[in-house]
Amino acid sequence: MKFPSTLTITLVFSAALFAANAPNPPEKITDVETIVNKANLTAYYQGKDGKAKVKMTITDKKNQTRLREFIILRKDIKDGGDQKYYVYFLKPADVRKMVFMVHKHTDIKKNDDRWLYLPGLDLVRRIAASDKRTSFVGSDFLYEDVSGRSLEEDIHELIETTDKYYVVKNVPKKPDSVEFSYFNVSIDRKTFVPMKMEFYDKKNKLYRVIESKTVETIQEFPTVVKSVVSDLNTGSKTEMEFSNVKYDINLKDIFTERYLRRPPREAMR
Amino acid sequence: MIFSKRLIAFVAVLVATTSLSAVAQEETTNDFKAFLSNLDVHGFYEIRSGYRTRKDKYEKDMSIMEQRLQLDLSSYLDWADFEVKSDIIGDLVEEQADFDLREAHMFTSPLEFMDLKVGRQILTWGTGDLVFINDLFPKDWQSFFIGRDTEYLKAPSDAAKISLFSDLVNLDIVYTPKFDPDRFISGQRISYWNSNLVRLAGRDAIQRTAKPDRWFRDDEIAARLYKNINNYEYALYTYHGYWKSPGGQNTAQTLAIFPDLNVYGASVRGNVGKGIGNLEFGYYDSHDDQSGKNGNINNSELRFLAGYSQEIGEDFTAGLQYYVEHMLDYSQHKNSAPSGLTRDRDRHLITVRLTKLLMNQNLRCSLFTYLSPSDKDTYMRPNINYKVNDNLAVELGANIFFGDYPSTFFGQFRNNTNIYTAMRYSF
């Protein structure tokens, strides 16, 4: 099992935190940058901190399943800026009590800082930066999926505005750095929650889909509590479910070596 | 130094008792109910078997053949966390059943700026990857060499760890009231170079030791002062105790001994380029032989480590370390050591770690290699681990030793080269 980058963490968490402060009824926005910025801010920085229990079910094409369960804590240093993440693993049994911690830096010149704590050895390990498009803990979610991807990486184009969604096409500025040629995101006009992401390969064939299956309002924030990613090439899919989602829990700075070695109660239950 | 060691120990005990008595007023019965309802039970069952690939006349052909059940019980109350982790082992090599209490401790935060962990615990600090300079907590080299899980390289300490935190700097103090030595190579399971017999030896010459074992007198104290500055982790260390594995022998040369050892060191770790770099240094003051004249006691040393690790491909990481042990009173060592048994002044060591994940990260292939150009010996640890499902993992690995000389650190183990397989069910 491998441990997530900030981007995936962001992805995982942002799915839970996708929330809106959109007007009602929604006005029709035509500027794509406004839409993506709004979705981005909503996705990453809702509330000043938050907590969720995450259950991931990975189902391969033979219908064999593997389960991952963890508690994730997030704290923003600055709205739209740096963040800290703390992930405490509950399942499977062989990674229970492991902790993964990230200090995410939005400055693209600066690497994120990542730590892993192995309780059996009482070992605090620093993890070298990893490829952003590899699997997160063996699931179909990648380090850099939906929201982990910097807005600076792509050219955005508003290709359609339906009654419910803004559909934005994203084309990478550096096509050689990724395996897709572009991806489309359907953003809810009212909540700014991205409801569907569709990735197209170099031959313009659809091969990956990420969908928000269930959205609930938690503490006034619309929150994706269930999402699914399907890999159409491998026939594998991963379902991610959120429970015990809480925002603004007044988290102190637990993102230090002290709490790596002794997970705080907030992280464990 | 003795005085300060006692003083710190006294303060530690005082702080521990005060903080405990403060919380002991809780209603005992309610606590007990809460304790039981919060109880969490996990663990694993494992079968592990391995054989030597070369004939070793001093040891059995079986290098490992055991079943192990680990139970990890944890619970908590408002004021403290508790954990007991124990292994029950059926060992066919030593033909015995064994019980290994790995952890049994209480953790509490009596003050906002203070953590306290008391009892049997696994302790680790320092920056090396399977190389230790300032980490003088007990290691189990025997487990490491016969192919148990890497987790077993760390043997437990019976200690109190007090951690103090501030914006300026953080401090850990570990007090071990009775010396906890390494589970060192004694000849029981692994044959070794016996300098008195001037040959390899094993079960025919199991090392007998005179171990410091008086409570509160033969104690150890280790401290770490550390600070994170822009995610560069700086630390200063000190240790006052004994050589953790035998560091000499008595004058009659009948018993291996653990001479006094003081260590002073420092380390730094942080981002370097696309990877993580670390530097660590330690001065080993072999206190019972400061002049280096006693051929029966380890020389004082300087130890230095530089390491770097980076992801070099998809799910593929590499780590490289350079480590050196430099003897400080080499001429004295050369004059006093029995002829033909002198070491090189410097022992250079290079380690290489390669880890690749495959099949949705369910298959892990790794190779850790220690290579000493000065000792002309090598130790390789290949391992393949496959997770059949969320509970079951199977494993295949080996411990491979090469060496030009029979007396060098890894060269002495060349007849212990072994291959092993394991199956573990975690719950």
What is the pLDDT averaged over residues B222-249?
96
ipTM > 0.95 for the complex:
no
Give the Cα separation of B211 and B184 in Å (integer). 12
CA dihedral over B141, B142, B147, B150, signed as positive or negative? negative
Over chain B, what is the mean pLDDT? 92
pTM, to two decimals: 0.89
- Candidate from B123, B151, B361 with C-beta closest to A2: B361
Give the Cα separation of A172 and A133 in Å (integer). 14
What is residue B280's predicted lDDT score, i.e. its pLDDT? 98
Query: Per CATH, is A6-268 categorized as 3.20.20.70?
Result: no
* Closest C-alpha among B150, B175, B83 to residue B420: B150
Give the Cα separation of B198 and B178 in Å (integer). 33
Contact A44, A147 (CB under 8 A): yes
For chain A, domain boundaries: 6-268
DSSP secondary structure, B354-413, as one string = EEEEETTTTEEEEEEEEEETTTTEEEEEEEEEEESSSSEEEEEEEEEEEESSTTSTTGGG
Tell whether the model's pLDDT for residue A4 goes beyond 50. no
Q: Which domains does chain B have, with CATH numbers?
A: 2-348 (2.40.160)
Say which range, A77-81, B230-234, B286-290, has the weakest mean pLDDT.
A77-81
Label residue B328 exposed, middle or buried (CB < 10 Å: 0-12, 13-18, 19+). Answer: middle
* Closest C-alpha among B375, B381, B379 to residue B406: B375
Give the Cα separation of A61 and B270 in Å (integer). 41
Place of tokens 């800026």: A81
Describe the crossing of helices A32-44 and A6-17 by its angle, rounded to 10 degrees. 100
B64/B23: higher pLDDT: B64
Structure tokens at B127: 């920056």
Q: Is A33 helix (H, G, I), strand (E, B) or coil?
A: helix
Contact B157, B178 (CB under 8 A): no
| Beta strands B209-210 and B256-257, pairing class | parallel
Q: Contacts of residue B275 in chain A, CB cutoff 8 Å?
A: 128-129
Contact A118, A98 (CB under 8 A): yes
Contact B377, B410 (CB under 8 A): yes
CA atoms within 13 A on the CB side of B215: 2
* Closest C-alpha among A143, A146, A196 to residue A166: A196
Q: Contacts of residue B315 in chain A, CB cutoff 8 Å?
A: 2, 134-135
**pLDDT above 90 coverage of chain B, percent:** 81
What is residue B330's predicted lDDT score, i.e. its pLDDT? 84
Tell whether the model's pLDDT for residue B4 goes beyond 60. no
What is the pLDDT averaged over residues B245-250?
92
Say which range, A227-236, B13-22, B179-188, B403-412, has the weakest mean pLDDT.
B13-22
Say whether residue B113 is in contact with chain A using an 8 A CB cutoff. Answer: no
pLDDT digits (tens, 9 = 90+) for B115-133: 999 999 999 999 999 999 9
In the structure, what pLDDT confidence band is assigned to residue B379 with cuts at 50, 70 and 90? very high
What is the pLDDT averaged over residues A1-26?
48
Q: Contacts of residue B107 in chain A, CB cutoff 8 Å?
A: 262
DSSP letter at A27 equals P
A43/B215: higher pLDDT: B215
Q: Contacts of residue B313 in chain A, CB cutoff 8 Å?
A: 131
Residue type for position B385: N
What is residue A20's predicted lDDT score, i.e. its pLDDT? 43
Give the Cα separation of B78 and B420 in Å (integer). 44
DSSP letter at A12 equals H
What is residue A130's predicted lDDT score, i.e. its pLDDT? 63
In the structure, what pLDDT confidence band is assigned to residue A162 with cuts at 50, 70 and 90? very high
Tell whether the model's pLDDT for residue B25 goes beyond 60. no
Give the Cα separation of B104 and B102 in Å (integer). 7
Contact A76, A83 (CB under 8 A): yes
Tell whether the model's pLDDT for residue A160 goes beyond 60. yes
In the structure, what pLDDT confidence band is assigned to residue B34 with cuts at 50, 70 and 90? confident
Closest approach of chain B CAs to the CA of A172, in angstroms?
A: 20
What is residue A23's predicted lDDT score, i.e. its pLDDT? 46
In the structure, what pLDDT confidence band is assigned to residue A243 with cuts at 50, 70 and 90? very high
Give the Cα separation of B85 and B74 in Å (integer). 8
- Give a three-class secondary structure readout of B284-328: EEEHHHCCCCCCCECCCEEEEEEEEEEEEECCEEEEEEEEEEEEC
DSSP secondary structure, B36-77, as one string = HHT-EEEEEEEEEEEEESS--TTS-SEEEEEEEEEEEEEEEE
CB spacing of A93 vs B231 below 8 angstroms: no
What is residue A150's predicted lDDT score, i.e. its pLDDT? 76
Q: Is A95 helix (H, G, I), strand (E, B) or coil?
A: helix
pLDDT digits (tens, 9 = 90+) for B150-203: 999 999 999 999 999 999 999 999 999 999 999 999 999 999 999 889 899 999
- What are the backbone dihedrals phi and psi of residue A120, each rounded to the nearest 5 degrees, phi first? -65, -30
Give the Cα separation of A96 and A69 in Å (integer). 9
Q: Contacts of residue A257 in chain B, CB cutoff 8 Å?
A: 170, 226, 228, 233
Any idea what the Cα angle at residue A135 is, between residues A134 and A141, rounded to 5°? 115
Name every residue in A having a CB less than 8 A away from some CB of B.
1-2, 58, 60, 64, 66-67, 91-94, 96, 103, 111, 113, 120-124, 126-131, 134-135, 137-138, 236, 256-258, 262, 265
What is the pLDDT averaged over residues B381-396?
97
**pLDDT above 70 coverage of chain B, percent:** 92
**pLDDT above 70 coverage of chain A, percent:** 86
Tell whether the model's pLDDT for residue B8 goes beyond 70. no
pLDDT digits (tens, 9 = 90+) for A134-146: 787 889 987 665 4
Say which range, A15-19, B217-221, B399-403, has the weakest mean pLDDT.
A15-19
Q: Contacts of residue A92 in chain B, CB cutoff 8 Å?
A: 390-391, 426
Residue type for position B118: V
Contacts 24+ apart (CB under 8 A), A76-82: A76/A45, A76/A48, A76/A49, A79/A41, A79/A45, A80/A41, A80/A44, A80/A45, A80/A106, A81/A106, A82/A106
- What are the backbone dihedrals phi and psi of residue A153, each rounded to the nearest 5 degrees, phi first? -75, -20
Which residue out of B361, B386, B392 would a mutagenesis test of the A interface target, given it has the greatest number of A Cβ atoms within 10 Å?
Answer: B361
List residues bridging with B306 in a β-sheet. Answer: B279, B322
Contact B163, B266 (CB under 8 A): no
Say whether residue B314 is in contact with chain A using an 8 A CB cutoff. Answer: yes
Closest approach of chain B CAs to the CA of A213, in angstroms?
A: 24
What is the pLDDT averaged over residues B388-396?
97
- What are the backbone dihedrals phi and psi of residue B321, each rounded to the nearest 5 degrees, phi first? -135, 145
In the structure, what pLDDT confidence band is assigned to residue B5 with cuts at 50, 70 and 90? low
In the structure, what pLDDT confidence band is assigned to residue A6 with cuts at 50, 70 and 90? very low
Label residue B213 exposed, middle or buried (CB < 10 Å: 0-12, 13-18, 19+). Answer: exposed
Torsion angle (degrees, nearest 10) of CA B18, B20, B26, B29:
-150
Label residue A140 exposed, middle or buried (CB < 10 Å: 0-12, 13-18, 19+). Answer: buried
Contact B333, B339 (CB under 8 A): no
Q: Is A265 helix (H, G, I), strand (E, B) or coil?
A: helix
In the structure, what pLDDT confidence band is assigned to residue B251 with cuts at 50, 70 and 90? confident
List residues bridging with B148 in a β-sheet. Answer: none
- What are the backbone dihedrals phi and psi of residue A257, each rounded to the nearest 5 degrees, phi first? -60, -35
- Candidate from B170, B233, B315 with C-beta closest to A134: B315
Tell whether the model's pLDDT for residue B9 goes beyond 70. no
- Phi-psi category of B253—alpha, beta or left, where left has phi over 0 and alpha has psi -120 to 50? left
- Candidate from B269, B313, B362 with C-beta closest to A138: B362
Residues 6+ apart with CB under 8 A from B344: B374, B375
What is residue A161's predicted lDDT score, i.e. its pLDDT? 95
What is the pLDDT averaged over residues A232-249?
94
CB spacing of A131 vs B426 below 8 angstroms: no
DSSP secondary structure, B362-378, as one string = TEEEEEEEEEETTTTEE
pLDDT digits (tens, 9 = 90+) for A55-75: 999 999 999 999 999 999 999
* Closest C-alpha among B333, B326, B334, B265 to residue B301: B326
What is residue B42's predicted lDDT score, i.e. its pLDDT? 97
- Candidate from A92, A126, A257 with C-beta closest to B276: A126
Q: Contacts of residue B274 in chain A, CB cutoff 8 Å?
A: 111, 128-129
Any idea what the Cα angle at residue A15 is, between residues A12 and A17, rounded to 5°? 110
B13/B388: higher pLDDT: B388
In the structure, what pLDDT confidence band is assigned to residue B337 with cuts at 50, 70 and 90? low
CB spacing of A92 vs B426 below 8 angstroms: yes
Tell whether the model's pLDDT for residue B6 goes beyond 60. no
What is residue B341's predicted lDDT score, i.e. its pLDDT? 62
What is the pLDDT averaged over residues B87-108?
96
